[in-house]
Amino acid sequence: MAAQQGEPVLAILGGTPRFPEPLHVGRPNVAAPDVVLERIRGALDRKWLTAFGPLVKEFEQRLAETAGVRHCIATCNASIALQVLFRAAGLTGEVVMPSFTFIATAHTLMWEGITPVFADIDERTGNIDVEHARRLITERTSAVVGVHLWGHPAPVDELTALAEEHGLPLFFDSAHAIGSLHKGKPVGGFGTAEVFSFHATKFINAFEGGAVLTDDDELAERVRKVHNYGRGEGEDIRHLGTNAKMTEVCAAMGLTSLEHMAELIAVNRANHDRYRDGLAGVPGVTLREPEPFDDTNHQYVVIEVDRDRAGIGRDDVAAALERENVLVRTHFHPGCHRTRPYVDDPARHAPLPLPRTEALGERVISLPTGTGVGQGQIDELCAVIGQIVRQGGEVRRARAGT
Ligand code: T4K
C-alpha cells in the first residue's frame, strides 16, 4: 500500500542531526553592522528617533530610486503599509487577489473591511491565474491585488490589461520582490502602487519595515497622511489616520541593507545555482525557477517534491529535514482560502476548490538561503535531500511489495 501524505514513512538517517547548528529559512542578512551602529549612534546624538527623521527620508529617497518611482513612504512593517494603502485608495467591497500568498495580503484587506476574493494560480509560475481573476470581478470589486510570489514577478502586463479593462486600480504586494526585475524593469514601479517588506526574514531588512511606492501624486499624499494620524508633516490633523511610521533605527538598518543589495542578490543567486547543481540527480525534486525574461532577487529557494516520481511526499521530506536540523517552511501551504477565518466562509471568499493552489501548496518547500548558509552546507543539504528521497522511495517500494 502506498504511504499517505504526512504519514511518517521515514525514520531514516537517525542519530545525531547532520547539522549541529540549526539552518533556518529566514535567517537575517546583517550587512555591515558597524555602519548600522554608526547610523544609529548619529540618530541618538541628534536626538531625532522617529517621525520624518533624516535616515527615514534618505531611505525613502533611495527606495524610490531603486524602484524608479517618484514617491516612497516608509512604514513600520509591510502589513501596515498595505492597510494604509488600501485605506488611502478608498477601497470598498471586494478585492480580487491570489490565494497562494502569505496570509498578510488577505488579512490586511479584511482588517480594512474589504472582502478578499481568492483567485487560483498558474501552477507553472505560482503566480495569479489572470483568466480566473477576470471571472471573479463583479460590480462589487474595487481593486485587483497581485503578488510577486517568492520574488518572481507576477504577470504584470496581463494584470495591467485586466485592471484597465475594468477601470480598477491595480496594486502589488511586493513583500518578497525588491530588487527583482520584470522584463528589465524594477519591481516597485508597476500598477497604481506597490508595497515592499523589510521584515528581518527578507533579504533586505530593516529589523521590521515596509514601504509604499507609487507615481500617483495624490495617492502618495493620502498615504503619507494616513500613515501619520491623518496629517502631513507639520500639518494639523484633518483626516482619519494611524501611526505607521518607520523609526530611525529601522531606517539605519534598511539603508545599510539596501547599500548591499547587489552583493546580497549575488549571494542568493550563487546559492540558488548551487542548489540546482546539487539537486540535479534527485528524482522527483525540482528547483522552482523564475521566468526566463525575469531577473529575480532569489529571496526564496523553493523546491517542489513530486510524490509519484520521488516516491516520498513533501511532508515527509520536510519532517526528515527538520530532524536533521534544517528548519524549512512550506510557503504558502495551504493557501489563504484554506486558512481561518476564510475557510469558515467560503461562499464569500472563493469559488472552491482552487485546485492548482492546493496542488502546488502540497509540493513546495522553502530551503535556507542568504548569508546564513554556506556553499558547503548547501552541498551537504542537497546530499541529505538525495538520501531522504532514496530511502523514502525504498521504504515505499518495500511496503508496496515491489
Ligand atoms: N505580504 C507577503 C506576501 C508576505 O510574505 C509578508 C510577510 C507580508 C505581506 C507582510 O510583511 P510584514 O508585515 O512582515 O513586513 C514570516 C515573516 O514574519 C513575514 O514577514 C513573511 N512575510 C512571512 C512569509 O514569513 P514567519 O512566521 O515564518 O517568520 P518567523 O518570524 O517565524 O521567522 C522565520 C525563521 O527565520 C525563524 O524560524 C528563524 C529565522 N529568524 C527570524 C527572525 C525574525 C531569525 O533567525 N532571526 C530573526 O530575527 O513569518
Please indicate, yes or no, whether residues 177 and 310 belong to a single structural domain of this protein. Answer: no
**pLDDT the model gives residue 352:** 77
Residue nearest to atom 9 of ligand 1 (CA): 104
Confidence of residue 4 (pLDDT cuts 50, 70, 90): very low
Q: What is the CATH number of the domain that holds 234?
A: 3.40.640.10
DSSP conformation letters of 120-139? -B-TTTSSB-HHHHHHH--T
Q: Which ligand 1 atom is at minimum distance from the Cα of 209?
A: 15
Q: What is the pLDDT of residues 249-296, one digit of tens each?
A: 999 999 999 999 999 999 999 999 999 999 999 999 999 999 999 999
| Substitution site in 75, 95, 102 for ligand 1 pocket (most atoms within 8 Å of beta carbon) | 102
CA 199 to ligand 1 centroid distance, Å = 6
> Of all protein residues, whose CA lies closest to atom 8 belonging to ligand 1?
104
Neighbouring residues of 157: CB distance < 8 A, sequence distance ≥ 6 = none
Residue nearest to atom 20 of ligand 1 (CA): 199
Residue pLDDT, tens place only, 174-225: 999 999 999 999 999 999 999 999 999 999 999 999 999 999 999 999 999 9
Burial of 197 (0-12, 13-18, 19+ CB in 10 A): buried
Let me know if residue 12 belongs to a domain. no
For residue 402, name the pLDDT band (cuts at 50, 70, 90). Answer: low
**Beta pairing, strands 364-367 & 301-305:** antiparallel
Residues with CB under 6 A from ligand 1: 24-28, 77-79, 101-102, 104-105, 147, 173, 175-176, 197, 199-201, 210, 327, 329, 331
**Is residue 327, in this structure, part of any structural domain at all?**
yes
Query: Please, which pLDDT band fits residue 8 given cuts at 50, 70 and 90?
Result: very low
Give me ligand 1 centre to Cα 75, in Å: 16
Tell me the whole-structure pTM to 2 decimals: 0.95
Cell numbers describing residue 258: 539596501
Domain containing residue 350: CATH number: 3.90.1150.10
134 and 39 in a single domain? The answer is: yes
On whether both 288 and 173 belong to a single domain, the answer is: no
Q: What is the predicted pLDDT for the residue at 26?
A: 96
Residue ID of nearest Cα to ligand 1 atom 49: 200
If you measure from the C-alpha of residue 283 to the centroid of ligand 1, how many angstroms do you get, rounded to a whole number?
Answer: 30
Residue 61 placed within a domain: yes
Does 7 map to a domain? no
Q: Taking 90 as the threshold, does the pLDDT of residue 364 lie above it?
A: yes
**Claim to verify: residue 213 and residue 88 sit in the same structural domain:** yes
Q: What domain range is 330 assigned to?
A: 18-27+261-400
* Residue ranges of E strands in 320-395: 326-327, 364-367
Our CA angle for 189, 354, 96, nearest 5°, is 35
For residue 329, what is the DSSP state?
B
Distance, in Å, from the CA atom of 266 to the CA atom of 204, rounded to the nearest integer, reads 13
Q: Are 284 and 387 in a shared domain?
A: yes
If you average pLDDT over every residue of the chain, what do you get?
94
**Ligand 1 atom showing the smallest separation from residue 26 Cα:** 36
Residue 13 maps to a domain: no
Look at residues 259, 286, 315 and tell me which one is the last residue of a structural domain: 259
Nearest-atom number in ligand 1 for the CA of 80 is 13
At which of 232, 259, 286 does a domain end? 259
CA 49 to CA 346: how far, in whole Å? 45
Rounded to an integer, the average pLDDT of 346-356 is 86
Residue nearest to ligand 1 atom 31, measured at CA: 201
- Residues 37 and 180 both lie in one domain: yes
Lowest-confidence pick of 38-52, 60-74, 144-158, 336-350: 336-350
Tally of domains within the chain: 2
pLDDT for 11 equals 46
CA nearest to 128, candidates 109, 152, 104: 152
107 and 215 housed in the same domain: yes
268 and 119 assigned to the same domain: no
379, 288: one domain: yes
Instruction: Give the mean model confidence (pLDDT) for residues 109-118.
Output: 97
Decide which of 259, 280, 297 is a domain's last residue: 259
Report the nearest atom of ligand 1 relative to the CA of 332: 24
State whether 266 and 241 are in the same domain. no
Per-residue pLDDT tens over the stretch 370-397: 999 999 999 999 999 999 999 988 887 7
- Contact by Cβ (8 Å): 383, 349: no
Query: Could you read off the pLDDT of 235-248 as tens digits, one per residue?
Result: 888 889 999 999 99
111, 201, 367, best to mutate for ligand 1 pocket (most atoms within 8 Å of CB): 201
- Look at residue 341 and tell me if it is in a domain: yes
- CA–centroid distance, residue 196 to ligand 1 (Å): 13
Q: What percent of the chain has pLDDT over 90?
A: 89
Instruction: Please indicate, yes or no, whether residues 93 and 161 belong to a single structural domain of this protein.
Output: yes
Angle at 387 between CA 25 and CA 296, to 5 degrees: 35
Q: What whole-number distance in Å separates Cα of residue 39 and Cα of residue 46?
A: 11
